[in-house]
Amino acid sequence: MDVRGGGACARDVRGVRLVLQKIYVLPRFQGIGAGEFLFRHAVEYIRSVHPAPCRMELNVNRNNRALHFYERMGMRKLREGDFPIGDGYYMNDYIMGLDIK
């Protein structure tokens, strides 16, 4: 889904676990509710296409300030993951989840 100043993308993984790939909000649109709008819209979309209980997950870098945003949206840290991205570099993420009923 795209809106002026931001966007979100989700994909089905295994039927009961869906992955929110990213939410991007341009800096000039941050702090005015755009991210919350995109997040809540993604959750409502998931409910509309998958009415049974499921879990939405996403990876967020452990040093990313968006971590606090996702916690405010009700997500919780499920586990940590260190994912190689090449040349000896790793993405050091929290895998976060939100149970959707």
pTM surpassing 0.95? no
- In this structure, what token pair is assigned to residue 6? 């931001």
Residue pLDDT, tens place only, 3-29: 455 555 555 555 567 888 888 888 898
Residue 40 pLDDT:
94
How many angstroms separate the CA atoms of 45 and 99, rounded?
14
Residue 33 pLDDT:
93
How many angstroms separate the CA atoms of 16 and 58, rounded?
14
Residue 1 pLDDT:
44
Residue pLDDT, tens place only, 44-68: 988 888 888 899 999 999 999 899 9
